[in-house]
Copies of this chain bind each other. A is one copy, B any other.
Amino acid sequence: MGVTIKDVAREAKVSVASVSRALNGHGGVTAETLERIREVAARLRYIPHGAARSLITRRTHTIGALLPDLYGEFFSELIRGIDLAARVHGLQLLVSSSHDGSAEAAAALRAMQGRVDGLLVMSPHADAAFLRQNLPVGLPTVLMNTVLERDDYAALSVDNAGGARLVVEHLLGEGYRRIAFIQGPVGNHDVAEREQAYRDALAARMPGVPPIVLPGEFDEASGYRAGQRLVAMSPRPDAVFAANDMMAIGCMAAIREAGLRIPEDIAVAGFDDVPMARYVSPALTTAGVRIAELGKAALDQLAGQIDGDADAAAPVHVRIPAELMVRASSARNHASKAAASD
Q: Which residues of A come within 8 Å of B, CB atoms? A: 1-2, 45, 47-55, 58, 60-62, 70-73, 75-76, 79-80, 83-84, 87, 92-99, 108, 110-115, 133-134, 136-138, 249, 275-276, 279-281
Contacts and interface: CB of A to CB of B under 8 A. Distances in A.
A95 B98 contact: no
A28 to B, nearest CB: 23
Contact of A2 (B61, B97, B98, B138): B138
A114 B83 contact: no
B51 A70 contact: no
Contacts of A80: 70-71
A70 B84 CA distance: 9
A87 to B, nearest CB: 7
Name A's interface SS. mixed
Contacts of A83: 70, 95, 97-98
Contacts of A99: 87
Given A61-B111, A73-B76, 8 more contacts: A45-B133, A51-B115, A73-B73, A87-B99, A93-B94, A93-B95, A94-B94, A95-B95
Report which residue of A49, A279, A281 has the largest number of chain B beta carbons within 10 angstroms of its beta carbon: A279
Contacts of A280: 279-281
A98 B94 contact: no
Nearest to A42: B133
A27 to B, nearest CB: 21
A221 B305 CA distance: 38
Report which residue of A95, A112, A133 has the largest number of chain B beta carbons within 10 angstroms of its beta carbon: A95
